[in-house]
Amino acid sequence: MRWALSPRDYRAHAVSGLAGDSTMAARCGHVMPVEAGLDDSPRAQLCAACVLAVAPTFEARGGLVNAARDADGCGEWFPDDK
């Protein structure tokens, strides 16, 4: 799983693939420019919808939050945030 920090909402999204010549799509449906770059670990506040999409279990979500914290992201996500 690759992650990207979107310049549009400043959340770390789980990237699902390219959405065109210059954009890529996240698992939650968010589209961002390819210039956002890719990281092995989330480096910002996690996109809640992406977390739910890629981490179906409580343990998996905990692992993601720890990975974000270790990568100097804030390691937080808010399931009620749209």
Residues 11-70 that bind Zn ion (CB under 5 A): 13, 26, 28, 30, 47, 49-50
Secondary structure letter of residue 46 according to DSSP: B
CB of 22 to Zn ion, least distance (A): 19
Residue 60: how many CB atoms within 10 A of its CB?
12
3-state helix, strand, coil in the chain (%, to 5): 30, 25, 50
Q: Which is nearer to Zn ion, 9 or 35 (CB)?
A: 9
CB of 23 to Zn ion, least distance (A): 14
- Give residues in contact with Zn ion (CB under 5 A): 13, 26, 28, 30, 47, 49-50
